[in-house]
Amino acid sequence: MDGLGVLESPVRKELLEHLVELFHSRDLDSATPPGRTARELAELTGLHVTTVRFHLERLVGAGFLHAHFEPPTGVGRPRKIYTSHLSRWPEPTTSRHHEALAGLHAELEAGEDGPARAEEAGLAWARARVQAGPGLSPAPARTPGTWLAKIGRLIDELTDWGYGPNVRTTGASVELTLHYCPFLAMATEDPDVVCAAHRGLLRGTLEAIGEPEVRVSLQPKVGPHACRAHLRTMTPLTGGPA
């Protein structure tokens, strides 16, 4: 696995995000970018240090991180420090993902009606393109397993559109962290419009796979070039936490 394929791991995404944020918060007069040891990052993420070290080395091998040794201040072994020199979050090298949303992008740029129109544009775009696919019931999910299958279908669509989603689920609630935003330049100037378009995309996709009763909210700028979506089905789930 090379290049951006390394970032398919949610753990590696999280580690890189920590170090990219650290790079942006650095003292510009310092010759050496700030970094963290594997142990420090393990404490931040709650993972075992051996697991963290493995993922950090994969990021170093792919060129996303640098590593160097600092001599101990007293007795002890040198500390291996991992740093990022990235000035921006890495984006996919292929244009396939951006082409997928090109029509919606053009519509948002041409629109003058603000967030409400942007959400409707995203909603209509997804409704026209997403199909439930085989094996999914057109009815709303009523068990945790079926709900997670629907979320899996949503993740497939977001991945095809280039978002690199990272998902966490708790019963009826889902948290999606979306990376590689195709609307990044527009989001800098008008984040409300882009968030509204994302709400529409999510709502339209969920409706297309039989989940019209889902509460969707967006949390912008949770990390370098990332936003977070919170989803909760309003349909009671049986056989698990609702």
pLDDT tens for 140-198 read: 999 988 898 888 889 888 877 877 777 888 889 999 888 777 777 677 777 888 888 89
pLDDT of residue 100 exceeding 90, the answer is: no
**Nearest CA among 184, 140, 195, 134 for reference residue 162:** 184
Cα within 13 Å of Cα(114), Cβ side: 1
Question: What is the per-residue pLDDT across 21-44, written as a single tens digit (0 to 9) for each?
Answer: 887 666 545 556 688 999 999 998
- Band of pLDDT at residue 96, cut at 50, 70 and 90: very low
> 3-state SS of the chain: helix, strand, coil percent to 5?
45, 15, 35
- pLDDT for res 94: 45
pTM of the model: 0.60
- pLDDT for res 202: 96
Cα within 13 Å of Cα(140), Cβ side: 14
Per residue in 97-129, is it b (16+ CB within 10 Å) or e — as a string? Answer: bbebbeebbebbeeeeeebebbbbbbbebbeeb
